[in-house]
Amino acid sequence: MPKPTFRAAPVRVRVPATSANLGPGFDALGLALALYDDIVVRVTDEPGLAVDVAGMGAASVARNARNLVVKAMYEAFKRLGGRPRGLEVVCANRIPHGRGLGSSAAAIVGGVIAARALVAGGAERMSDEQVLALASEMEGHPDNVAACLLGGLTLAWTDAAGGHGLRLPVTEALAPVAYVPGTSSSTKATRRLLPETVPHADAARNAGRAALLVTALGTRPDLLLVATEDRLHQPYRAPAMPRTAALVDELRVAGIPAVVSGAGPSVLALTTAANRDQALALTRRGWSTLALDVDTDGAVQLPLDLSGSEAPDPAEPS
């Protein structure tokens, strides 16, 4: 591939939070949520890298080449033919880190999309399908990155060619509520809790519930409570997240379709206008309760209304 030509103007990319699994759709189903990280990047004449981070994770994320956004950009540049000598990256983060809301997927997808946007003819050099395959490779699984890239409800899978994603219909009645604790968890750590084998009856039941969930999210929200039953991963992770498991159980006993968001510890209630207020009324000390609409756009490049590379204030409403 010939060496790329880089655009002089900065680019701004917005990426949504995501919730994967949604109960029985383990490593396959994902939902994009209207909570966003913004990334502003600019190619500089001076060699080197400058990284600034505001908002969620600002006190802990790397401000060098180990930053996940930068790592994704560098990998994308490599596949686009080469990277620029100098780069400025500014991140405004609103997605909580380590809470099961897709912060790593947002960083990876945002970095890849930003790198592609900085290359003249980048979309011709790297298609959305190639973006998804690269992001899936970096993330290790495609469910969050597919929802982050495509928006809405997505079905993801992996084959010999890498990660793939398909956007599915989702009812406009869906009005999710997220419960976000003040403590984080590690996806790798909670994944180690999963057994290598599960009872055949549990696997069969989950397959049926996952298929039903696609219909429930698309046209039959009245079926969401039964459709979100899971026996494949949530019961095995529950001992490591007792407060999460207890909140899911309490919501479900009240008739609210609730699941562990991704690998946790956040909880997602798949509510509609009919029961969202009931879900919002349930609060926990040390937890934030967020009414989050479904994002329908996925990762997007936005116009810059500023002259430099300063990112918008992460405290501003999205």
- CATH (domain of 103): 3.30.230.10
Q: Is the model's pLDDT at 250 over the cut of 90?
A: yes
Q: What is the pLDDT of residue 184?
A: 83
In this structure, the answer to whether residues 84 and 227 fall within a common structural domain is no
Determine the average pLDDT of the residues in 52-61: 95
Q: Give, as one character, the DSSP assignment of residue 221.
A: G
* Alpha-helix runs per DSSP H in the chain: 68-80, 103-118, 122-125, 128-139, 143-150, 187-191, 200-218, 224-227, 234-237, 242-253, 276-280
In this structure, the answer to whether residues 145 and 246 fall within a common structural domain is no
Q: What is the pLDDT of residue 21?
A: 97
In this structure, the answer to whether residues 158 and 195 fall within a common structural domain is no
Determine the average pLDDT of the residues in 65-91: 97
Closest CA to 90 of 318, 306, 298: 306
Determine the average pLDDT of the residues in 19-38: 97
Task: Please give the C-alpha separations between residue 243 and each of 18, 102, 248, 314, in angstroms, as whole numbers.
Answer: 21, 20, 9, 29
* Amino acid occupying residue 99: R
The answer to the question of residue 310 being in a domain is no
The answer to the question of residue 307 being in a domain is no
The answer to the question of residue 314 being in a domain is no
List, for residues 184-227, the tens digit of each pLDDT value.
Answer: 877 677 778 899 999 999 999 999 999 999 999 999 999 999 99
How many domains does the structure of the chain reveal?
2
- 185: domain CATH number is 3.30.70.890
pTM of the model: 0.93
Q: Is the model's pLDDT at 313 over the cut of 70?
A: no
The answer to the question of residue 75 being in a domain is yes
183 forms beta bridges with: none
Q: What is the pLDDT of residue 186?
A: 73
Expressed in angstroms, the distance from the first to the final Cα of the chain is 38
Residues 142, 164: Cα–Cα separation, whole Å: 7
In this structure, the answer to whether residues 28 and 98 fall within a common structural domain is yes
In this structure, the answer to whether residues 35 and 163 fall within a common structural domain is yes
In this structure, the answer to whether residues 195 and 265 fall within a common structural domain is yes
Q: What is the pLDDT of residue 51?
A: 97
Token reading at 289? 């309760």
Cβ 288 vs Cβ 179: under 8 Å: yes
CB-based burial of residue 236 (10 Å sphere; 0-12 exposed, 13-18 middle, 19+ buried)? middle
Q: Is the model's pLDDT at 4 over the cut of 80?
A: yes
Determine the average pLDDT of the residues in 92-105: 96
In this structure, the answer to whether residues 96 and 181 fall within a common structural domain is no
Determine the average pLDDT of the residues in 299-314: 68
In this structure, the answer to whether residues 272 and 127 fall within a common structural domain is no
In this structure, the answer to whether residues 71 and 194 fall within a common structural domain is no
The answer to the question of residue 84 being in a domain is yes
List, for residues 251-291, the tens digit of each pLDDT value.
Answer: 999 999 999 999 999 999 999 999 999 999 988 899 999 99
Q: Is the model's pLDDT at 308 over the cut of 60?
A: no
In this structure, the answer to whether residues 47 and 137 fall within a common structural domain is yes
Determine the average pLDDT of the residues in 167-177: 97
The answer to the question of residue 308 being in a domain is no
The answer to the question of residue 236 being in a domain is yes
In this structure, the answer to whether residues 102 and 183 fall within a common structural domain is no
Q: How many residues does the chain have?
A: 318
Determine the average pLDDT of the residues in 157-172: 96
The answer to the question of residue 309 being in a domain is no
* Helix-helix angle 103-118:143-150, to 10 degrees: 50
Across the beta sheet with 177-181, what order do the strands follow? 258-260, 267-269, 177-181, 287-291
Domain that holds residue 149: 11-168+296-302
Give the range among 19-28, 70-79, 281-290, 291-300 with minimum mean pLDDT: 281-290
In this structure, the answer to whether residues 64 and 148 fall within a common structural domain is yes
At 92, is the secondary structure helix, strand, or coil?
A: strand
